[in-house]
């Protein structure tokens, strides 16, 4: 009644674990890199890895990705069709910041039993960066094989039809139909409860009892069973993948909890150190305040004593300076008086000298005209003596004038000393009064 058939297409689902690392990254403005995974048959990114920091030309993505790939085996060449994945390294999620890209065919890695590390130079750029991809095959089973299972199912339904499909004359079909339908319904209900993901199949199986004939049910049951098995295997693989992810998350949670405990211990140690430092600071402050009071009191006493002695010294110096100032003022007055007298005498002498010069010139002219040579010599010698006497008197006046200049200088020095004394005494008196 049913012909045996063979499903020649062979499909397999494989879960690949992929870990990424970039090396020889050039110096760029960006401090992080992101990675996009683009399947060739999809044409858009399906996975975007988190931003990883660049450190000394290296960039490492800590979290791996799990990629479930469905591969179809070609029966003629006995190899799987290519399944190309593109890996794009970028400074940001947009295409404008692409650093480079490369691709691999996961169909070539189906037979791998150990983790493989592929070094892929990033193309479309002359940066020289290399992307290292560590690929590990986590799971891979046949999705549907139609050579042995389909034949067994068809033979079972052939025998089932021969036993149960009889003519309506003997009434056996009518008698056995409710029981068989009940068994059929229970078996498919159990299957639907096991997969628990496709409610439409349960509705189909329930509607078949009311609307379809026995032949249609038997023909469709093969397809339904195959779909259910496929869904069961798919759910099992998804459960295994989720279990792997849960295990990795548990490991990561354990690591994070350990890190948190270590950080809590470090925080406790730092708090203890902080408290110890605070107590030490308070002790030092108290000691410093006491020492400062003692030091300030001793320093103030010494300073007051020193200021008193210095004040007495300044008083003595002031008295001596005042006395010397009085003497110098008296001397200055005397020198001023003598200076004025000398100036008057000098003026008289200059006037007399001018008169004498005029007389000498007049006499010399007369001598030349009226007298002989001897008389001229006598007169000239007399004139010379008078000249020497007048010159000596003039020199005496000049020396007296010099003495007057020296007196003027002494007067200036006295004024300077007096000003200096007046400037220094008031601040000393103020400081002494403040200390008292």
98-105 and 7-23: which strand pairing? unpaired
The Cα 2–Cα 252 span in angstroms is 55
Tell me which of 115, 143, 171 is where a domain ends: 143
What average pLDDT score do residues 70-88 get?
85
Question: Residue 338's domain spans which residues?
Answer: 301-435
Arithmetic mean of pLDDT over the chain: 73
What average pLDDT score do residues 282-287 get?
82
> Number of folded domains in the chain?
2
203-218 pLDDT tens trace: 444 444 444 455 555 6
Q: Examine residue 410 and state whether it is found in any structural domain, yes or no.
A: yes
Q: Examine residue 196 and state whether it is found in any structural domain, yes or no.
A: no
User: What integer pLDDT is reported at residue 365 of this predicted model?
Assistant: 74
CATH number at residue 106: 2.60.40.150
Q: Examine residue 152 and state whether it is found in any structural domain, yes or no.
A: no
Contacts 24+ apart (CB under 8 A), 317-325: 318/421, 318/425, 321/417, 321/418, 321/421, 325/414, 325/417, 325/418
Tell me which of 123, 143, 163 is where a domain ends: 143
Q: Examine residue 259 and state whether it is found in any structural domain, yes or no.
A: no
Phi, psi of 16 (to 5 degrees): -110, 135
Q: What 8-state DSSP symbol labels residue 123?
A: B
The Cα 164–Cα 38 span in angstroms is 54
Q: Write out the H or E segment, with its range, that includes residue 392.
A: helix 373-435
Q: Examine residue 330 and state whether it is found in any structural domain, yes or no.
A: yes
> Which residue, among 163, 154, 151, 225, has the nearest Cα to 195 in the 3D structure?
225
The Cα 328–Cα 340 span in angstroms is 18
81-111 pLDDT tens trace: 889 999 999 887 556 678 889 999 998 888 8
81 and 93 in contact (C-beta within 8 Å)?
no
The Cα 119–Cα 181 span in angstroms is 60
Q: Which residue has the tokens 């690949």?
A: 16
Distances (CA, A) of 269 to 264, 266, 273, 354: 9, 5, 6, 110
User: What integer pLDDT is reported at residue 98 of this predicted model?
Assistant: 86
Cα dihedral value 288, 294, 298, 299, nearest 10: 30
Q: Examine residue 89 and state whether it is found in any structural domain, yes or no.
A: yes
Length of the chain: 436
Tell me the pLDDT band of 363, cut-offs 50, 70 and 90. Answer: confident
Cα atoms in the Cβ-side hemisphere of radius 13 Å centred on 13 = 15
CATH number at residue 309: 1.10.287
Beta bridge partners of 101: 88, 123
Contacts of 2 (CB under 8 A, 6+ apart): 154, 157, 158, 161, 218, 219
At 288, list the tokens.
């410093």
More confident residue, 99 or 221: 99
Residue 21 pLDDT greater than 90, yes or no: yes
Tell me which of 143, 161, 185 is where a domain ends: 143
User: What integer pLDDT is reported at residue 18 of this predicted model?
Assistant: 93
Using a pLDDT cut of 90, give the percent of the chain over it: 12
Residue 336 pLDDT greater than 50, yes or no: yes
The Cα 70–Cα 12 span in angstroms is 6
Q: What is the DSSP string of 141-167?
A: EEEEEESSHHHHHHHHHHHHHHHH---
Residue 201 pLDDT greater than 60, yes or no: no
pTM for the complete prediction? 0.35
Residue 273 pLDDT greater than 70, yes or no: yes
Q: Examine residue 311 and state whether it is found in any structural domain, yes or no.
A: yes
Q: Examine residue 238 and state whether it is found in any structural domain, yes or no.
A: no
100 and 89 in contact (C-beta within 8 Å)?
yes
């Amino acid at each position: 009644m049913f012909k045996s058939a063979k499903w020649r297409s062979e499909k397999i689902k494989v879960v690949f674990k992929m870990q990424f690392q970039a090396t020889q990254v050039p110096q760029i403005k960006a401090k992080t890199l992101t990675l996009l995974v683009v399947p060739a048959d999809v044409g858009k990114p399906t996975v975007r890895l988190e931003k990883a920091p660049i450190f000394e030309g290296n960039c490492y993505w800590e979290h791996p990705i799990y990629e479930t790939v469905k591969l179809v085996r070609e029966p003629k060449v006995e190899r799987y069709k290519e399944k190309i994945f593109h890996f794009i390294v970028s400074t940001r999620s947009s295409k404008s910041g692409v650093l480079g890209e490369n691709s691999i065919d996961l169909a070539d890695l189906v037979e791998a039993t150990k983790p493989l590390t592929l070094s892929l130079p990033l193309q479309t750029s002359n940066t020289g960066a290399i992307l290292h991809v560590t690929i590990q095959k986590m799971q891979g089973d046949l999705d549907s094989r139609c050579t042995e299972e389909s034949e067994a199912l068809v033979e079972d339904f052939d025998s089932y039809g021969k036993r149960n499909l009889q003519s309506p004359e003997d009434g056996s079909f009518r008698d056995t139909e409710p029981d068989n339908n009940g068994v059929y319904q229970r078996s498919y209900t159990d299957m639907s409860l096991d997969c628990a993901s496709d409610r439409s199949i349960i509705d189909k199986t329930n509607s078949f009892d009311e609307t379809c004939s026995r032949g249609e049910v038997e023909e469709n049951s093969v397809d339904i069973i195959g779909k259910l098995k496929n869904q069961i295997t798919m759910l099992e693989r998804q459960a295994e993948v989720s279990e792997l992810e849960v295990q990795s998350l548990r490991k990561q949670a354990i690591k994070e909890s350990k890190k948190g405990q270590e950080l809590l211990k470090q925080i406790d140690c730092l708090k203890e150190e902080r408290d110890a430092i605070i107590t030490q600071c308070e002790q030092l402050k108290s000691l410093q305040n006491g020492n400062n009071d003692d030091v300030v009191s001793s320093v103030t006493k010494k300073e007051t004593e020193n200021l008193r002695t210095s004040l007495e010294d300044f008083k003595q110096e002031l008295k001596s300076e005042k006395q010397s100032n009085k003497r110098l003022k008296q001397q200055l007055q005397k020198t001023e008086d003598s200076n004025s007298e000398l100036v008057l005498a000098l003026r008289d002498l200059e006037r007399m000298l001018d008169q004498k010069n005029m007389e000498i010139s007049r006499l010399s002219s007369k001598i030349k005209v009226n007298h002989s040579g001897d008389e001229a010599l006598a007169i000239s010698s007399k004139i010379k003596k008078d000249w020497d006497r007048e010159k000596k008197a003039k020199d005496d006046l000049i020396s007296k004038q010099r003495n007057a200049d020296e007196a003027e200088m002494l007067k200036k020095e006295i004024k300077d000393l007096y000003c200096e004394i007046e400037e220094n005494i008031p601040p000393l008196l103020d400081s002494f009064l403040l200390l008292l």
